[in-house]
A and B are shown apart, each in its own frame.
Chain A
Amino acid sequence: MKELRELEQSVEGAIAFLKTQPEIKSAQAFASANNRMWTRLNYTSHIPCNGVEEAKSTIDYGIGVQVVFDGPEGNRVGFGSEERDLSLEGVKLALEKARQGALVDPEFRCLPQPTGEKRSLFAYHDPMVMGITDQALVEGGWKILDGAIWSFLGSDKLRDMAPGGALHALGLTVGGDLTVLQERMAVGSYEMPEVQSDESAAILAHVTSMVEKAEAKGSGYSVHLKLRELDDGAGSEAAENAISSLGGIRVPSGDYPVILGPQPIGELLSHLVIPSCSAGSFYARQSCFLGKLGKQVASDMVTITDKGNGPGLIGSKGITCEGLPTGETTLIKNGVLNGLLSDWYEYQRMLHDPAAGEKLGARPEDVAPALVPKNGFRFARGGGRNFNVRPHASATNVVFESPSSGDLGALIKEIKRGILVGRLWYTYPIHGLRAGDFTSTLTADSYFIEDGEIKAPVKVNTLRINDNIANILMGIRGMTAETRPTILWAADQIVYAPLGLMVDKVHFEGIAEFMEAAY
């Protein structure tokens, strides 16, 4: 993987070269190197398997330039990049692509300029994660499987269930992955000539386990900034949750009070709330919060902040991929829509959009601080800060700030007859983001609550939620003090969600009744 200094030198050289080109009015250069490593897990006790199915990686580096050309018809803006060539030759190839594709975009104002914010996060990654070996990668995957397998082997419940003690006949499965992300980047521009750089690395594990004969499923997650923290916890958590889900029952259709666990909270945020809290979705009139900046959109218990510079948080970065300091953007504060995620382009566009007042529900000049661009990243390809991608607004660490001191047990005690929803599946805004209608199915880690106690697990894939995000947000009645980081498949951000979030009413439909007799 390319060293940070090589990226910095490339950007310095690029800016120096671009400044010699007379037709260029302004430019930004961005060099990066990314290594994404995975061990993908697949253990099935009832089907031949490999355990660690795939030990793999993708690696890239290169430089991209965004260039403003002077021209008779006005400023023309172009973007080009070159893979695996940080030399001046690579910069020239990238420039040529930018030149050929340059066009007049009437909404383009300028390249990113200092926002007045200061960088607060430096040298925050673990060099050991940056230097992880192939052997350690593969061992990490097997270690997570160990956690699950030893939990299965140690379970009396499973031994009692297994005919003749043959655990393999129970259909024990472990799937998921261990992901290691290693990212380095450097950026410089005419507007911000001092080359800045950033380096980050993280380890994420995401595991699903099943006792398939009983259709019992559990999830486990872990995130680590330090290599020494990597353990088998995600595997054992998933297996233990699957064992806890044995004996699942069907729950009839109807409206129920619910407690949403961390994954469902992350799922709803990632598919509905976060996309609705971007300047781009307001510009395109797609947000379910359209016209509601400064207005109540959730229960007054709700405060959600994107913390791009949070020390010790997995998704933190020192600077954005536009060279601007990361920071905190409070999206919802005490239930009121307070801020939007933005990159520089969308920020500028919103400030100058004649319809911005109608879209935001406030005059943009009055709410400019709510739009400050702290989230212009170039995430793509399953992670990494990609030199061949233009910046776009992405969330980082989305953190719930809880006003409560309660725990999960206290929330459960408040519910007469309801559902603890532990994992949602395939949650989509079914009529578009603006409408806020969504649907989703319960697929794991869920329990039926009666008289303030957990009565029984909910059988997987037997309930579908049909509801609207506004009902959920406005119906929040309580939450735990404790949060945990939650990983979602294919999402860039980490959601630090409460262990429980109580909502007064959610609509459920019983589904897949035919499966009771299918096998």
Chain B
Amino acid sequence: MAQKVDVALVDRVKAQLSNLVSETRGRLKDCSYIDLRIGVGEGQRAVAQDGMRKFSLGDYRLSYGLRVIAGRDISAAGYFGQSLGSADVDNLPRVILEGVQQAYERAMANSALKGDRKSRWESLGNPLQNTELAPIDVREDTIPAVCKINPVDVPLEEVSRLTQEVSRAVASSDPRVKVNQAMVETSLIRELIVSSEGASIDRTYALTQALCAVVAIGNSGAQQSHYDCLGHQRGWEIITEGIDEELIKSKPLMQFALDLAADNVALSEARPCPSSDKDVIAVTDPHYNTLLVHEIVGHPTELDRALKLETAYAGRSWLLRNLKENMLGQPIASPLVSAYSDPLLPGFGHYEYDDEATPGRRVMLIDKGVFSGFMNSRQTAATLGVSPNGHFKATDASLVPLIRMSTTVFGAGQQDPQEMIREVDHGYYLVGHRIPSISESRENFRITARKVFEIKNGQVGEMFRDGGIMANTRDYLMSIDAVGNDLRIYPVFNCGKGQPMQAKKLGNGGPTLRGYARLVGGTK
């Protein structure tokens, strides 16, 4: 009889797996390091479309991932990841040992071939080095979940009923709403990381999110399609009560969805956004700046990109050409601009330790306009000769972690956002983010907004649809002449990176900003 999979499984196997990793490392010849990550999740989700129930499911997820570093003359890494089921619960150590063996064999094969190429590739063999991890403060810790209503205690029928109710309310809110979809999920997740160095991090967290998408068609036939996400590392209460924290605020799901629908309807009656030939004053709100900071600050400050590991996929970073030529210590933004990644901030990007058991800490990315550091992993930190700062995360234990944003934000400034608008004779106010397109090394961006308002004589005027701004990253950051005091953090539910692509949940945000950029509307 298969055993139920729930987060309590970790209690039963923690000590055993910790020993397994340490003992196996000692037993495997030329093996210098092993780490094991196990993820257990239990939760439920429901989907409704146009007021009709479409899907609901309560299920679990159990998986593990391994890294083994081994090699005789030169070390290399091998990895193995696997999804597991309830049939494995009684045999977990045996199953994982098989995985260790496979990861070890890959590491040893990789090491032998690395050594061979190091000698055969003439001078181009020199960069091939041992796979090394920068040292960390090795810790044992247990972190409990924070939630008022535990996701596993919410009946699936309740999740499904509320999702349908929201979709039905949106569908009937205005005849111009033609299609809508609501997806709600709430889960309890527990992650265990053990390493042959002795680390043991056992973290449980709740994760609840809702996605709403609305299509509206105005009387002129103009179609508008927008979506938005409500989410936090909290329980079911965020869906029914909303969120009212210092940095994260959201209405309950019903009102959140109805507001999105109302925006869509209004936009479907708006005129298309014009384009400008020259830079205009662009005031951008915290929701827009959530995507802006994600794309133009967060991604280029991931050290794996900067060290070219994402050249074929998510791209490089204009901030580092090589270890000698880079922008560290150089001004890249107005002195009013600071930005940082902080895993200890609340929201989707929160954690105490990353997937290497490195304690997470705030990384100043831009300090008063000066580029000051990268998010990193143990391996990339060793390459750059800096300390690990805890930003190596995977979306599932079976996948190899990547350097990811935690909660990456523009820091708050001093100004009242209303005052920032009142100071503008003519410009545009961009509210809410929509879709981004960024050049490969993040040196240029075009990001559309949900709503674009014209500012005339300090007053917010006509609203336009289908518009955004385009600028060179450094030019835009340098142009910022006002930073608001209204820092907000929003959830980002689908940041894609890696091969295979991992769509990660994380937090981004910022205050209202004022800078200069080209206004770009639709193409005829």
In the complex, what's the smallest C-beta–C-beta distance from B1 to chain A, in angstroms? 7
The interface on chain B, measured as residues whose beta carbon lies within 8 A of the other chain's beta carbons, has a size of: 98
The interface on chain A, measured as residues whose beta carbon lies within 8 A of the other chain's beta carbons, has a size of: 112
CB nearest to B323 among chain A residues? A47
A461 within 8 A of B: yes
Pick from B87, B113, B121: contact of A85, CB under 8 Å? B87
Q: Are A177 and B312 touching (Cβ within 8 A)?
A: yes
Q: How far is the CA of A459 from the CA of B114 in the complex (A)?
A: 33
In the complex, what's the smallest C-beta–C-beta distance from A503 to chain B, in angstroms? 14
Residues of chain B contacted by A87 (CB below 8 angstroms): 87
Residues of chain A contacted by B32 (CB below 8 angstroms): none
Instruction: Decide yes or no: A437 and B522 within 8 Å by CB, A43-B127, A464-B470 being known contacts.
Output: yes
Pick from A36, A153, A284: contact of B124, CB under 8 Å? A153
CB nearest to B76 among chain A residues? A50
Q: How far is the CA of A42 from the CA of B77 in the complex (A)?
A: 13
Q: Are B440 and A426 touching (Cβ within 8 A)?
A: yes
Q: Are A49 and B79 touching (Cβ within 8 A)?
A: no
Pick from B52, B102, B124: contact of A167, CB under 8 Å? B124
Q: Are B446 and A430 touching (Cβ within 8 A)?
A: yes
Q: How far is the CA of A42 from the CA of B321 in the complex (A)?
A: 15
Q: Are B225 and A434 touching (Cβ within 8 A)?
A: yes
Q: How far is the CA of A519 from the CA of B522 in the complex (A)?
A: 35
A257 within 8 A of B: no
Residues of chain B contacted by A207 (CB below 8 angstroms): 312
A173 within 8 A of B: yes
Chain-A contact segment, one of B230-238, B484-492, B496-504 = B496-504
Residues of chain A contacted by B81 (CB below 8 angstroms): 56-59
Residues of chain A contacted by B146 (CB below 8 angstroms): none
B218 within 8 A of A: no
Chain-A contact segment, one of B54-62, B192-200, B360-368 = B54-62
Instruction: Decide yes or no: A439 and B400 within 8 Å by CB, A149-B124, A153-B124, A285-B178 being known contacts.
Output: no
Q: Are A206 and B53 touching (Cβ within 8 A)?
A: no
Instruction: Decide yes or no: A509 and B59 within 8 Å by CB, A49-B127, A168-B126 being known contacts.
Output: no
Instruction: Decide yes or no: A512 and B55 within 8 Å by CB, A53-B309, A56-B80 being known contacts.
Output: no
Pick from A89, A101, A142, A176: contact of B57, CB under 8 Å? A101
In the complex, what's the smallest C-beta–C-beta distance from A441 to chain B, in angstroms? 4
Chain-B contact segment, one of A123-131, A132-140, A297-305, A331-339 = A132-140
Residues of chain B contacted by A515 (CB below 8 angstroms): 318, 443
Q: How far is the CA of A86 from the CA of B500 in the complex (A)?
A: 26
Q: How far is the CA of A427 from the CA of B438 in the complex (A)?
A: 9
Pick from B58, B113, B124: contact of A142, CB under 8 Å? B113
B441 within 8 A of A: yes
Q: Are B55 and A426 touching (Cβ within 8 A)?
A: no
B523 within 8 A of A: yes
B156 within 8 A of A: yes
Residues of chain B contacted by A382 (CB below 8 angstroms): 499-501
Q: Are A44 and B57 touching (Cβ within 8 A)?
A: no
CB nearest to B315 among chain A residues? A425
Q: Are A153 and B448 touching (Cβ within 8 A)?
A: no
- Mask, B499-524, CB within 8 Å of A = 1, is 11100000000000000000010111
Q: Are A47 and B439 touching (Cβ within 8 A)?
A: no
Q: Are A83 and B84 touching (Cβ within 8 A)?
A: yes
Q: Are B309 and A441 touching (Cβ within 8 A)?
A: no
Pick from A83, A100, A167: contact of B123, CB under 8 Å? A167
B82 within 8 A of A: yes
Instruction: Decide yes or no: A435 and B312 within 8 Å by CB, A49-B129, A145-B117 being known contacts.
Output: no
Q: Are B523 and A468 touching (Cβ within 8 A)?
A: yes
Q: Are B439 and A461 touching (Cβ within 8 A)?
A: yes
Q: How far is the CA of A285 from the CA of B176 in the complex (A)?
A: 13
B97 within 8 A of A: no
Q: Are A437 and B466 touching (Cβ within 8 A)?
A: yes
Residues of chain A contacted by B310 (CB below 8 angstroms): 175
What does DSSP make chain B's interface, helix, strand, loop or mixed? mixed
Residues of chain A contacted by B399 (CB below 8 angstroms): 58
A485 within 8 A of B: no
A93 within 8 A of B: yes
B219 within 8 A of A: no
Q: Are B307 and A47 touching (Cβ within 8 A)?
A: yes
CB nearest to B83 among chain A residues? A60
Q: How far is the CA of A83 from the CA of B105 in the complex (A)?
A: 26
CB nearest to B4 among chain A residues? A93
B372 within 8 A of A: no
Pick from A176, A210, A390, A435: contact of B522, CB under 8 Å? A435
- Mask, B147-158, CB within 8 Å of A = 1, is 000000000100
Pick from A166, A210, A430, A471: contact of B468, CB under 8 Å? A430
Q: Are B109 and A139 touching (Cβ within 8 A)?
A: yes
B137 within 8 A of A: no
- Mask, A477-490, CB within 8 Å of B = 1, is 00000000000011
A361 within 8 A of B: no
Residues of chain A contacted by B414 (CB below 8 angstroms): none
Pick from A79, A179, A381, A519: contact of B55, CB under 8 Å? A79
Q: Are A175 and B312 touching (Cβ within 8 A)?
A: yes
Instruction: Decide yes or no: A177 and B499 within 8 Å by CB, A79-B55, A79-B57, A83-B84 being known contacts.
Output: yes
Q: Are B84 and A84 touching (Cβ within 8 A)?
A: yes
Interface centre among B224, B307, B523 (most CB of A within 10 A): B523
Chain-B contact segment, one of A103-111, A189-197, A413-421, A493-501 = A103-111
Interface residues in B70-95 by Cβ distance below 8 A to A read: 76-88
A232 within 8 A of B: no
Q: How far is the CA of A46 from the CA of B85 in the complex (A)?
A: 44
Instruction: Decide yes or no: A134 and B315 within 8 Å by CB, A48-B129, A55-B78, A512-B439 being known contacts.
Output: no
Interface centre among B107, B113, B383, B400 (most CB of A within 10 A): B113
Residues of chain A contacted by B315 (CB below 8 angstroms): 425-426, 443
Q: Are A381 and B500 touching (Cβ within 8 A)?
A: yes
Residues of chain A contacted by B88 (CB below 8 angstroms): 84
CB nearest to A139 among chain B residues? B113
Residues of chain B contacted by A432 (CB below 8 angstroms): 223-226, 435
In the complex, what's the smallest C-beta–C-beta distance from A23 to chain B, in angstroms? 18
CB nearest to A83 among chain B residues? B85
Instruction: Decide yes or no: A49 and B439 within 8 Å by CB, A84-B87, A85-B2 being known contacts.
Output: no
Pick from A105, A135, A146: contact of B53, CB under 8 Å? A105
CB nearest to A46 among chain B residues? B322
CB nearest to B181 among chain A residues? A284
Residues of chain B contacted by A56 (CB below 8 angstroms): 78-81, 106, 400
- Mask, B132-169, CB within 8 Å of A = 1, is 00000000000000000000000010001000000000
A248 within 8 A of B: no
B122 within 8 A of A: yes
- Mask, B223-256, CB within 8 Å of A = 1, is 1111000000000000000000000000000000
B274 within 8 A of A: no
Q: How far is the CA of A103 from the CA of B500 in the complex (A)?
A: 33
Residues of chain B contacted by A434 (CB below 8 angstroms): 223, 225
Residues of chain B contacted by A51 (CB below 8 angstroms): 113-114, 117, 128
Q: Are A461 and B109 touching (Cβ within 8 A)?
A: no
Pick from A52, A426, A429, A514: contact of B438, CB under 8 Å? A426
A296 within 8 A of B: no
Question: Besides the contacts A50-B131, A142-B117, what 13 more A-B pairs have beta carbons closer than 8 Å?
Answer: A42-B308, A51-B117, A62-B83, A83-B86, A212-B322, A285-B179, A286-B225, A382-B500, A427-B437, A434-B225, A437-B466, A439-B446, A441-B439
Give 15 A-B contacts (CB < 8 Å), ordered by A residue: A38-B500, A48-B129, A49-B129, A50-B114, A84-B85, A134-B109, A175-B313, A208-B311, A210-B311, A284-B179, A286-B215, A430-B437, A435-B522, A443-B440, A514-B474
The residues of A with any CB-CB pair to B shorter than 8 Å are: 36, 38, 40-60, 62, 79-85, 87, 89-90, 93, 97, 100-101, 103-107, 134-135, 137-139, 142, 145-146, 149, 152-153, 166-168, 171-173, 175-177, 179, 206-208, 210, 212, 283-286, 381-383, 388, 390, 425-435, 437, 439-441, 443, 460-461, 464, 466-468, 471, 489-490, 507, 509, 511-515, 518-519
Of all A-B residue pairs in the complex, the 4 with the closest CB atoms, nearest first, are A382-B500, A83-B85, A56-B79, A175-B311
